[in-house]
A and B are shown apart, each in its own frame.
Chain A
Amino acid sequence: MQRQKMIGVSKLVKCYNGRKVLNTIDLEVGKGECFCLLGPNGAGKTTIVKIITGFERPDSGRIEVLGRDVGACSQYLKGRINIIPQQPTLDPFLTIAENLVFYGMLQKIPGRVLRVQIDKLLELFSLSQIRNQVTFHASGGEVQRLLVARAFLKPGDILFMDEPTSGIDILFKNRLWSIFNDMKRDGLTIFLNTHDLNEAEVLSDRIAFLFNGRILAVDTPQNLKRSIDAGQATLNDVFRKMGVEDAGDNLA
């Protein structure tokens, strides 16, 4: 059965200083799907997310999210999507819990709901013990967990994650992957940017290989691996097989 289209990108082009960083990108993401953009640093993954979420404008192309043109109704879409950004966007002088309160208030979540939700998320992401710690003094992993927790403060239809587990230790990474998979089972659509091959394989329904601003292939992880070898091929092998030898070293 055809899934409902949540994200549609058609013929997207973006240039910076005359250099094409995204070259005729086409992609579609269906409801409840985890779609992964896999590529080395500088491939253009973050730029795609910024354009889809309305933070940047494309030079040309059409971008639809939840059936609406992104440029025309970004305020409406902000209420329906959640983002885990690559770079921390937290107030370093507020405490861990206060950062969640601040974000919840910016999202206009009613006070009582917000308090309950914050307690739940601090517990879920093992941040309860340091809830009153100033964020400036938090470790990289704690900051990343806070960013992930923050994205779940309000319900949304699509979750955009840009390198969501960078700086997080392997134990907690496994726990996060399990949380993301649970969310996916509950019908959440996930758009994941990563250069972590394991993460892509564990979470994604489909993977798009992005290199030098072009999508080289899009398919399920199984089909991608099967396309080069029915046996023991890995995603890294797939990437190398596509002629992206040096990029393979940038993928973890």
Chain B
Amino acid sequence: MRAIIWREIRLHYSKAYWLVSNFMPPFFYLLFFGYLFSAVFQKVAFENRNISYLHFFIPGLIVMQSFLTLPYALSLVNLDRRVKIIDMIHMTATSFHEYFSGRMISIQVLALVKAMILWVVAVSMMHMISAGVAGIVIALVVFVISTFIWFCVGFILGLVIKTEDARDIVMQFLALPLTFLSNIYYPVMTAPGLLKYAIAANPLTHATNLIRPALLNCPTAEYIGKNYISFLVLLAYFIVSGILALVMVRQWSAKKG
């Protein structure tokens, strides 16, 4: 597992261009989308009060960092498969379970650091209402769960997909629509027709349902009363994705000795 994390650091975390290309986009979203959009839609109704669009959007943007582990894990695992790094790992004393864990830790840490930087910027520079300790802890736990779910999905797809074309199609037809079919960018209570069900089935919606009020300092009793279903749904996704990923890891371990 140490080898997988070491390689990730050598290839990515120690390269300036990579750090810039990974850490800048959230701020582009924050400034060029969130800030400008808040000038048009000044107030958004949320939990019986009106808040600025920027306040509404930032927790969604944090959830999006957890979601980005899907395309990231998919790309990296798929590349490892195509350049035969996975075959090489099978030749060594490192197990495929360790490969899974190493990848998960390095990708989760990246997502968490990006989310924390966003939050610090939001609190310090944009007069974000600071959440209490309970809110931050809840947001952290939900973020880790959400990141795990999307990592598992990306990891499984990365192993299953055989070509770059197929990978791009999955990115366009799965990853992109999922962010729009959630409440990351806007409230979705009045979503039309069948889209309502797609939004309700999307784990991103439930992660946002949990993180947004936690970071916007909603009263605890009210928070639990309104959001326990989202927590249960997210937990179900967490268990199912974890089981599927482990089945996949076992299959690949057995497949290659």
Contact = CB atoms under 8 A, between A and B. Distances in A.
B88 A105 contact: no
B11 A94 contact: yes
A91 B7 contact: yes
B18 to A, nearest CB: 11
Contacts of B94: 106-108
Interface residues of A, number: 26
Interface residues of B, number: 20
A140 to B, nearest CB: 16
Contacts of A107: 92-94
B92 A55 contact: no
Contacts, number: 60
A219 B207 CA distance: 68
Nearest to A104: B3
Given A53-B257, A89-B84, A105-B2, A78 B7 contact: no
Interface string A160-197: 00000000000000000000000000000000000000
Given A79-B93, A91-B83, A107-B93, 9 more contacts: A55-B87, A55-B256, A83-B91, A90-B83, A94-B10, A94-B11, A98-B10, A103-B88, A106-B93
30 contacts: A54-B257, A55-B90, A55-B256, A75-B93, A78-B92, A78-B93, A78-B257, A83-B91, A89-B84, A89-B85, A89-B87, A89-B88, A89-B91, A90-B88, A91-B11, A91-B85, A92-B83, A93-B11, A94-B10, A98-B10, A101-B6, A103-B88, A103-B92, A106-B3, A106-B88, A106-B93, A106-B94, A107-B94, A108-B93, A108-B94
Interface of B: 2-3, 6-7, 10-11, 83-85, 87-95, 256-257
